[in-house]
A and B are shown apart, each in its own frame.
Chain A
Amino acid sequence: MKTLLAINDLSIFDEAGLPLVRDISFSIVEGSALFLVGETGCGKTLISQAVAGTLPPRLTPRGSIPFRGRDLLKMPQKEREALWGRDIFLLPQEPFSALNPVLSVHRQVREIFSRVRGEKKSTSREKTHRLFASLGISREASFEEPRKLSGGMAQRALLATALASPAPLVLLDEPTKGLDSSSKESILLLIKSLLENRKTLLCITHDLSIPLEIGGDTGVLFGGLLVEFGKSRELLSHPSSPYTRGLLNALPERGLHPIPEELIQHMERAWNL
């Protein structure tokens, strides 16, 4: 039950000194999934960026993010970029813009084995084949360029890159944005695959059905503050915060009830926003 990543009193300020994110603290256990949920603009993406090292330079983070014995926020940008692909993996939303259109998907996974892991070309090729096979992508398909694959296969090719990578921490930002329910199924499978392969997941989402399905831990954010944090299933079946209850009621399955305006105002007053 080792902690892989911790966030200690993280605050993020904009150029004017206004806090966009305030005093966030939580930790992620190795091999588990942590979901940050909340409405648009609550700051969850900023937290993810702070971990990834992709925070826009005009924003200033404070606090500490201990990861594998080092504080990420104290590291110079060059070193943080060196972590990409080796310690932290940023999984993009859309396979067709992330994958290089002129190279085969096989090549794009193989180079992770050969260049990032430093393995021999023949071993890399073998491992890539096996990985694609386990994901249900045939050999012929793997040698195609991404545009020749169906949406689902491309998504799985993207998953293959995450699985091939040695990085234990995978960051997912809004993986189900704009997807219909059948595609959402494949995202759930993707997340489960990652967890089965002993990856640790930090997933930003507005979609509460994902933590409900997967489990792990969930943190609820509002206005840059952590409103509630706990085991996903418990928190979402018996939420303590009225805000979380409001979010749950807004789900389509529960009737799409909008969050009451009084609640928002109450919260803003309570937290001095």
Chain B
Amino acid sequence: MGGIKRFCHTYLFRMLMVALGVSTLCFLAVEYAPGDRAVDVALARYGEDVSPQAVEYIRMSEGLQNHPFYRYRLWLGSLVRGDWGRSLVGGEKVTLLLTTAFRRTALLALFALGLSLVLALPLGIYNGCHPGSLVDLCSAGLSGILCSFPPFVTGIVLILLLSIRWRMLPVAGFSSPIHMLLPGITLALGLAAGSCRVTAAAVLQARQSPHYAFARHKGLAGRSLFLPHGLRNAAPPVITYLGLQTAGLLDGVVVIETLFAWPGLGNLLLDAVRGGDILLVQGAGLLLGWIYVTVNSLAEYFADHFASQEKRGCP
């Protein structure tokens, strides 16, 4: 199938581009960033009172003095070999930090997605079947407003309400599953706002289509009408949208993790950037970039697949 082959080509190409892009940028950041890298690391590692010897020690031990091109080759080489280095600050292996953080982010993201679907799909289907109803108009208004809130604003409002005012949920931390609720709900609300609208629109469009009318004229009704001719046709744009949402989830995740101190990939990347921990920045950036490429490419693939289904008269 030509489609799959082309998909693989594009996908691999993009992964490569992201890898090259991120690693080159990180390399350049090391080389040309303002200030002395060795000093930054020393400060991050040892605090304010750091001696010149410590700085020099770091400079030597981290090899921060060789020629740029040579170091670039070494840089790329170690990346390819799978040696992504150690955190300049804490010393742990980058790959280890990444895997732990990834698991946590994945947990949060999946929870948020799942919750958003539970919220959005039934509501969206109902709205598509009863357009113009009170529920439809209210949820449209609410979704519109929610969409305009930056994720951290929704999060803050939720914190103010649920944590501070009503003392229902803990704000930050990671020790128990309940800590996942507040960040998860924050993300889920933003996601649900979009998917609810899209689902409603898709269901409405399916129900207003000529083939839905024909199916009714054939004598079908109830579930045997709605499921194969309504939902089945509404599914592709919704799935496409969900794919795009998942890709965009990445941006939201970084911010939400910071707000709620959820120790995932986003938080890791941010700490790394702040601490000048360049190898960690590279690792986290790469991983996040690859996740993005994967989700995005899959979403595009399905979008094309569904789009081709809509083409008529093209054998």
Are A and B bound to each other? yes
Taking Cβ atoms with an 8 Å cutoff, the residues of A that contact B are 81, 84-86, 89-90, 92, 94, 96-103, 107, 111-112, 115-116, 145-151, 161, 165, 167
B309 and A147: CB pair below 8 A?
yes
A96 and B218: CB pair below 8 A?
no
B218 and A102: CB pair below 8 A?
no
Q: Chain B's nearest CB lies how many Å from the CB of A206?
A: 22
A-B pairs under 8 A by CB, number? 75
A98 and B313: CB pair below 8 A?
no
Q: Chain B's nearest CB lies how many Å from the CB of A24?
A: 23
Considering the complex of A and B, which 7 residue pairs feature the smallest CB-CB distances, nearest first? A85-B219, A116-B219, A98-B214, A97-B210, A100-B211, A90-B217, A96-B312
B contacts with A: majority SS:
helix
| Docked pose: A31 CA to B126 CA in angstroms | 43
Q: Chain B's nearest CB lies how many Å from the CB of A68?
A: 15
In the complex, given contacts A85-B217, A101-B310, A103-B228, what are 13 additional A-B residue pairs having Cβ atoms less than 8 angstroms apart? A89-B217, A90-B214, A97-B211, A98-B210, A99-B211, A100-B232, A102-B233, A107-B228, A112-B218, A115-B219, A147-B312, A151-B313, A165-B218
A103 and B309: CB pair below 8 A?
no
Which residues of chain B have C-beta atoms less than 8 A from A92's C-beta?
210, 214, 217
Which residues of chain B have C-beta atoms less than 8 A from A89's C-beta?
217-218
Q: Chain A's nearest CB lies how many Å from the CB of B286?
A: 38
Q: Chain B's nearest CB lies how many Å from the CB of A12?
A: 21
What band does the interface of chain B fall in when counting residues whose beta carbon is under 8 Å from A?
20 to 34
B312 and A81: CB pair below 8 A?
no
A111 and B210: CB pair below 8 A?
no
A85 and B220: CB pair below 8 A?
yes
B232 and A103: CB pair below 8 A?
yes
CB-defined A-B contacts under 8 Å, sample of 23:
A81-B216, A85-B220, A89-B217, A90-B217, A92-B217, A97-B210, A97-B211, A99-B211, A99-B214, A100-B229, A101-B211, A101-B309, A101-B310, A103-B228, A103-B229, A111-B220, A111-B228, A115-B224, A147-B309, A147-B311, A161-B218, A165-B219, A167-B219
| Docked pose: A167 CA to B211 CA in angstroms | 19
Taking the complex as formed, is B156 at the interface, i.e. its CB lies under 8 A from any CB of chain A? no
Report the nearest A residue to B311, measured CB to CB.
A147
Taking the complex as formed, is B315 at the interface, i.e. its CB lies under 8 A from any CB of chain A? yes
